[in-house]
Amino acid sequence: MTDLLSPTGLSSTGLSTAGSSSAGAGPDDGGGADAVDVAALGELLLGKWANVRREARLLAGRPEVHKVEGQTHTEHRQRAFGQLQFLVEHNAVHRAFPRRLGGSDDHGGNVAGFQELVTADPSLQIKAGVQWGLFGSAVMHLGSAEHQDKWLPGIMSLAVPGCFAMTEIGHGSDVASIATTATFDPSKDEFILDTPFRAAWKEYIGNAAVDGLAAVVFAQLVTKGVNHGVHAFYVELRDPVTREFLPGVGGEDDGVKGGLNGIDNGRLHFDSVRLPRTNLLNRYGDVDSAGTYSSPIASPGRRFFTMLGTLVQGRVSLDGAAVAASKVALKIAIQYASERRQFQASSDTEEEVLLDYQRHQRRLLPRLATTYAASFAHEQLLEKFDDVFSGTRNTEADRQDLETLAAALKSLSTWHALDTLQECREACGGAGFMVENRFTSLRSDLDVYATFEGDNTVLLQLVAKRLLADYAKEFQNVDFGVLARFAFGQAADLTLNKSGLRQVAQFVADTGSVQKSVLALRDEDGQRALLSERVQSMVAEVGGSLKAAARLPQAQAAALFNEHQHELIETAQAHAELLQWEAFTEALHGIDDAGTKKVLTWLRDLFGLTLIEKHLSWYLMNGRLSMQRGRTVGGYINRLLAKLRPHAVDLVDAFGYGPEHLRATIASGIEKERQDEAAAYYRKQRASSDGPVDEKVLLLKQKAANRRGSRSMPS
């Protein structure tokens, strides 16, 4: 097995071209050869928790945790559950838990290591996430020290496999409206847990169908006739010996799904299940024996969001796992594209390498650029997460920033992973469709990432509402003069952009020169201005459209928001894209090696200009770009692709995934062997007088002979 603890962390395929490639010198790249320091770049990508990632990759490379393709869902479930014990035995899942119970209080390291499990088997990763990242974390973050001491040891050791029962059939992302109730009975000092109708059944619950012995169940807490909103309760589900449901608890198996079939998802329902009062996880809300409710957070709304905020690590984990899956897909596809040959375009004897075709570069390299941006953004998210959960920076503003950042980045990275897996699959042709090459299996398993731990569209709406709230705060308690200056600035902006004056100014600045247009777009400050101005303009526009909502009746306000929902989502997505671009740019400033920095700058530019090209209609319609500059975007992207082409394999080698993580035949070097064998065969054939003659060659010779004969005949 590859020694991933070696300084380079390179693939053991022997296919790395580190230091051997040189950029195609373009008119504006300064000339000369530029090489990527693959080892140093790999270290940068490993980030703050590099050692944890190395350890996790060593474990993920073990065959004991790999997915076995073709198993039935029953077999896959049994294997995945056994693999959980393997993780326990190798101390892979306890980093975030308290030191007094055998953990290490390392929240960032825990997520960094956890996300690497996606390369082994996404089912294993998510099943582990259910057990320790959701079930265990809910007890740890929502319960008291007594709850932790009582229940966490069994959860950590897997003696008590468990569930995280939040989602209901009738309420997915709208957690505040779940219908399950926990009503306090002071005469027995117990809560009575009920799912009053079918739509209140807990649905899609991992470990519910077979393995779960207990669950953290979310329900509306009712005491003394008052509903205090959603709270979490520790509930025993099954007899640990017979594995049968306990009285009042029922459930069903969800059966075969579109992916992640190593997880036994199921439904749960409760009929007057009695729970001791002390089973309420009471960090943010408690009930005494008389039924009196108390909470350290007076506002019901803020209390609800604080409780849910403690569980944000699921979104952080999915963001990182989606980035890791994108890296694996691109390593496989780009390695294959650097070896696979197809069609004789520039030679009569040699076929073209796929990656030399511009269209193939267009398919893969912009997605590679986006993956780098998402990777750097995830590292910032992970550091923010660790700051909050370690208590280093844990103010209300810090928690809100974390929740907003996690929602924004999880949405973009999970959509990007699905898009990348599909494009890589197609780019590898029929070979990409074979299960042995991972794309189809990974895509089916990651499909649900876009909708669990928060549907991406709903999450982006939350991000947009945060942007609008921040926008509104800027104008609280300001005097008339400030508002007047802002209004004047908006008017000036409209005059400049809508009238075409900005376009005229750009045209004059460019003096009709394509080269000057390119330089303006390539400039870091120019890209930042275009991306940030788009976000600011969109926030201001939708904010202006919705400013009347606060004064309208509820139904009319809701209708007004609905009219602008699409703009809200677009605004949030633009904000998330800007965050990724800024993270990439910040990472560039920390690179010392000149060659690596130059190549990564090209890659960052490719990411930025791909975003501008994607939204080019907005920039043109809103007067942010002249037609002159708009026309140069695609051309400069093509030039960047040509310059990045020689470095493509280096850039994916820097991800540090070896064959034990890729497990794809087409990325094993076998294609190069086949192509070399074929080339040697044809060379030998051409050198031999015994080889067959191509019919087209004979026809050309015949035509030439006919022409010579016609010229020699007397007139």
The separation between the first and the last C-alpha atoms of the chain, rounded to the nearest angstrom, is: 79
Residue 41 pLDDT level (bands cut at 50, 70, 90): very high
The fraction of the chain above a pLDDT of 70, given in percent, is: 87
Residue 344 pLDDT level (bands cut at 50, 70, 90): low
Q: Which residues contact 556 (CB under 8 A, 6 or more apart)?
A: none
Q: What is the pLDDT of residue 710?
A: 73
CA distance 95 to 106: 5
Nearest to 422 by CA among 443, 441, 451, 438: 443
Q: Is 43 a catalytic residue?
A: no
Phi, psi of 202 (to 5 degrees): -70, 130
Q: What is the pTM of this model?
A: 0.88
Which residue among the candidates 339, 453, 577, 671 is catalytic per the annotation?
453
| pLDDT at 300 > cutoff 80 | yes
Residue 26 pLDDT level (bands cut at 50, 70, 90): very low
Residue 19 pLDDT level (bands cut at 50, 70, 90): very low
pLDDT digits (tens, 9 = 90+) for 677-696: 777 887 787 778 777 877 88
Helix (H, G, I), strand (E, B) or coil at 710: helix
The encoded tokens of residue 144 equal: 């008291």
pLDDT digits (tens, 9 = 90+) for 642-674: 999 999 999 999 999 999 999 999 998 888 888
Q: What is the mean predicted confidence (pLDDT) over 479-487?
A: 46
DSSP state of 283: S
The pLDDT mean for the chain works out to 87
Q: What is the mean predicted confidence (pLDDT) over 353-364?
A: 90
Q: What is the mean predicted confidence (pLDDT) over 104-112?
A: 95
Residue 474 pLDDT level (bands cut at 50, 70, 90): low
The fraction of the chain above a pLDDT of 90, given in percent, is: 67
Q: What is the pLDDT of residue 310?
A: 75
Q: What is the pLDDT of residue 33?
A: 56
SS3 string of 90-157?
CCCCCCCCCHHHCCCCCHHHHHHHHHHHHHCCHHHHHHHHHHHHHHHHHHHHHCCHHHHHHHHHHHHH
**Range name among 165-169, 389-393, 458-462, 708-712 with the lowest pLDDT average:** 708-712
Residue 435 pLDDT level (bands cut at 50, 70, 90): very high
Give whole-number Cα distances, 146 to 143, 184, 230, 291, in Å.
8, 21, 21, 20
| pLDDT at 223 > cutoff 90 | yes
Q: What is the pLDDT of residue 306?
A: 87
Residue 13 pLDDT level (bands cut at 50, 70, 90): very low
The encoded tokens of residue 585 equal: 């740019």
The encoded tokens of residue 406 equal: 């996690």
| pLDDT at 527 > cutoff 70 | yes
Candidate ranges 171-175, 346-350, 530-534; pick with highest mean pLDDT: 530-534
Q: What is the pLDDT of residue 113?
A: 95
The encoded tokens of residue 612 equal: 């501008």
Residue 309 pLDDT level (bands cut at 50, 70, 90): confident
CA distance 410 to 314: 10
| pLDDT at 292 > cutoff 50 | yes
Q: Please report which helix (H) or strand (E) contains residue 680, including its range.
A: helix 670-687
Q: What is the mean predicted confidence (pLDDT) over 480-485?
A: 46
Question: Which CATH fold would you assign to the domain 162-298?
Answer: Butyryl-CoA Dehydrogenase, subunit A; domain 2 (2.40.110)
Q: What is the pLDDT of residue 51?
A: 96
pLDDT digits (tens, 9 = 90+) for 529-546: 899 999 988 988 888 888
Residue 27 pLDDT level (bands cut at 50, 70, 90): very low
Q: What is the mean predicted confidence (pLDDT) over 494-514?
A: 49
Q: Which residue has the higher pLDDT, 712 or 335?
A: 335
- Using a 10 angstrom Cβ sphere, with 0-12 exposed, 13-18 middle and 19 or more buried, the burial of residue 493 is middle
Cα-based torsion angle of the residue sequence 84, 89, 90, 96 in order, rounded to the nearest 10 degrees = 70
Q: What is the pLDDT of residue 361?
A: 95
CA distance 535 to 650: 34
Residue 370: HSE in the Cβ half-sphere, 13 Å Cα cutoff: 25
Nearest to 610 by CA among 587, 585, 577: 577
Among all chains, which residue has been given the structure tokens 């944000």?
Answer: 312
CA distance 276 to 300: 24
Candidate ranges 34-43, 229-238, 459-468, 519-528; pick with highest mean pLDDT: 229-238
Number of H helices, E strands in the chain: 27, 13
Q: What is the pLDDT of residue 578?
A: 94
- Report helix, strand and coil shares of the chain as percent, to nearest 5: 60, 10, 30
Give whole-number Cα distances, 352 to 23, 345, 346, 357, in Å.
19, 7, 8, 8
| pLDDT at 494 > cutoff 60 | no
| pLDDT at 99 > cutoff 50 | yes
pLDDT digits (tens, 9 = 90+) for 539-583: 888 888 888 888 888 898 889 888 999 999 999 999 999 999 999
Q: Please report which helix (H) or strand (E) contains residue 570, including its range.
A: helix 565-588
CA distance 425 to 570: 28
Q: What is the pLDDT of residue 699?
A: 86
Q: Which residue has the higher pLDDT, 715 or 161?
A: 161
**Range name among 163-177, 272-286, 498-512 with the lowest pLDDT average:** 498-512
Residue 629 pLDDT level (bands cut at 50, 70, 90): confident
Q: What is the mean predicted confidence (pLDDT) over 314-323?
A: 96
pLDDT digits (tens, 9 = 90+) for 244-267: 999 999 999 999 999 999 999 999
Nearest to 312 by CA among 133, 189, 487, 155: 133
Q: What is the pLDDT of residue 691?
A: 74
CA distance 209 to 163: 10
The encoded tokens of residue 335 equal: 């390695």
Q: What is the pLDDT of residue 328?
A: 97
